[in-house]
């Protein structure tokens, strides 16, 4: 295990995940495991799985809770808040922008096929993440 990290490192990791991770909690947690267990070695796989178990006992959004657990493990209580904010903020901005686009242009006939085309891609990503995480659990 590496020593405790700084808040900038925590913010950087979870901001990136907040920008690129989509597909729901299963996909987020699979990406989180790859980043914090396999790549950065912040904690052992067993400890990560234990945190998933704790997260499932707590009501609320599992992927955000896991983000906060990982931030806490890496940088203490400040890391919990930094990780949570860094993970949520990009999603809020992206969702707000997409909602504005949808309200402004969603009913145009040229855009509707694009909206329908995204659905299969999202389902495939979610299914892949669920299968990968399911094998480990």
Q: Given this model, what pLDDT does residue 2 score?
A: 46
Largest CA distance in the chain: 55
* Beta carbons within 10 angstroms of residue 132's beta carbon: 16
| Residues of the chain under the 70 pLDDT cut | 1-4, 106-109, 111, 137
pTM: 0.73
DSSP 49-85: HHHHHHHHHSSS-HHHHHHHHHHHHHHHHHHHHHHHH
Residues 62-99 have pLDDT tens digits of 999 999 999 999 999 999 999 999 999 998 998 899 88
Q: Given this model, what pLDDT does residue 106 score?
A: 67
Q: Given this model, what pLDDT does residue 113 score?
A: 76
Query: CA 130, CA 24: separation in Å to the nearest integer?
Result: 10
Q: Given this model, what pLDDT does residue 3 score?
A: 47
């Amino acid at each position: 295990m590496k020593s405790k990290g700084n808040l900038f490192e925590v913010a950087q990791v979870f901001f990136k995940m907040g920008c690129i991770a989509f597909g729901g909690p299963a996909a987020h947690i699979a990406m989180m495991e790859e980043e914090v267990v396999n790549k950065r070695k912040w904690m052992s796989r067993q400890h990560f799985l234990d945190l998933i178990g704790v997260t499932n006992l707590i009501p609320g959004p599992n992927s955000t809770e896991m983000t906060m657990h990982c931030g806490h493990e890496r940088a203490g209580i400040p890391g919990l808040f930094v990780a949570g904010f860094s993970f949520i903020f990009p999603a809020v901005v992206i969702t707000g922008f997409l909602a504005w686009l949808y309200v402004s242009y969603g009913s145009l006939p040229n855009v509707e096929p694009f909206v329908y085309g995204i659905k299969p891609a999202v389902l495939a990503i979610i299914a892949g993440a669920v299968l990968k995480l399911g094998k480990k659990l």
